[in-house]
Amino acid sequence: MRILLAIDGSSYSDVAVAEVANKPFPANSEVKIISVAELPILPVVDAWAPTDNYFQVMEKFAEEQAQRIVKKAADELRDHQGDKLRITTAVIPGHPRSVITDEAETWGADLIVVGSHGYRGLTRLWLGSVSQTVASHAKCSVEIVRGKRGENISQGQPAM
């Protein structure tokens, strides 16, 4: 079985990592842990101009942060599963909605696992839902993991 675990370093993706870490997957299953390094968006401020290397610095920071996120998740899976799973990691630049489904299709995933922030109402409309988009467009099964009711999960800010 090929499991694509897409994470962003938030407490919601930590719950998804824990879910994968504690499942009894079939022998020889593979887990590919990805984090999407989102490309920077230039703030629209008339009186401010970015430095010459603004985009390079922001891209490097996003990639380094994503590398830390996937390493932490891989370590947790290895701690819980030992050598039962073959684990690989990747940091992919782009936008999460498309990168996750494209990577799952290219890699041949049987299952995509993502955490959900659980946004509702106007917040969901404004920010969108990566998990909903992935579930709607993926060509394989998708597991959307949420924390249990009553759990105090932070506001989903990426870990640094």
Q: What is the CATH number of the domain that holds 68?
A: 3.40.50.620
Which one of 15-19, 43-47, 129-133, 154-158 scores highest in mean pLDDT? 15-19
The number of distinct structural domains making up the chain is: 1
Confidence of residue 160 (pLDDT cuts 50, 70, 90): very low
Q: Within a domain: residue 158? A: no
What digits encode the pLDDT tens for the residues 93-152? 998 989 999 999 999 999 999 998 655 554 444 445 788 889 899 999 999 998 764 454
Q: Within a domain: residue 157? A: no
Q: Which amino acid is at 70?
A: V
What digits encode the pLDDT tens for the residues 62-96? 899 999 999 999 999 999 998 899 999 999 999 89
Domain containing 41 equals 6-145
Q: What is the pLDDT of residue 132?
A: 85
Tell me the residue length of the chain: 160
Q: What is the pLDDT of residue 158?
A: 43
Distance of CA 52 to the CA centre of its chain: 30
Average the pLDDT over each of 14-28, 43-57, 142-156 and give the range with the smallest value. 142-156
Q: Within a domain: residue 66? A: yes
Burial 128-156 (b: 16+ CB within 10 A, else e): ebbbbbbbeebebebbbbbbeeeeebeeb
Average pLDDT score, the chain: 83
Q: What is the pLDDT of residue 83?
A: 87
Q: Within a domain: residue 45? A: yes
Rounded Cα distance between 24 and 107, Å, is: 22
Q: Within a domain: residue 154? A: no
Confidence of residue 25 (pLDDT cuts 50, 70, 90): very high
Nearest-5° Cα angle at 68, 62 to 69? 85
Q: Within a domain: residue 138? A: yes
Nearest alpha-carbon partner for 9 in 96, 122, 135, 85: 96
Residue 156 confidence (pLDDT) above 60? no
Q: Reduced to 3 states, what is the DSSP secondary structure of residue 2?
A: strand
Nearest alpha-carbon partner for 4 in 83, 92, 63: 92
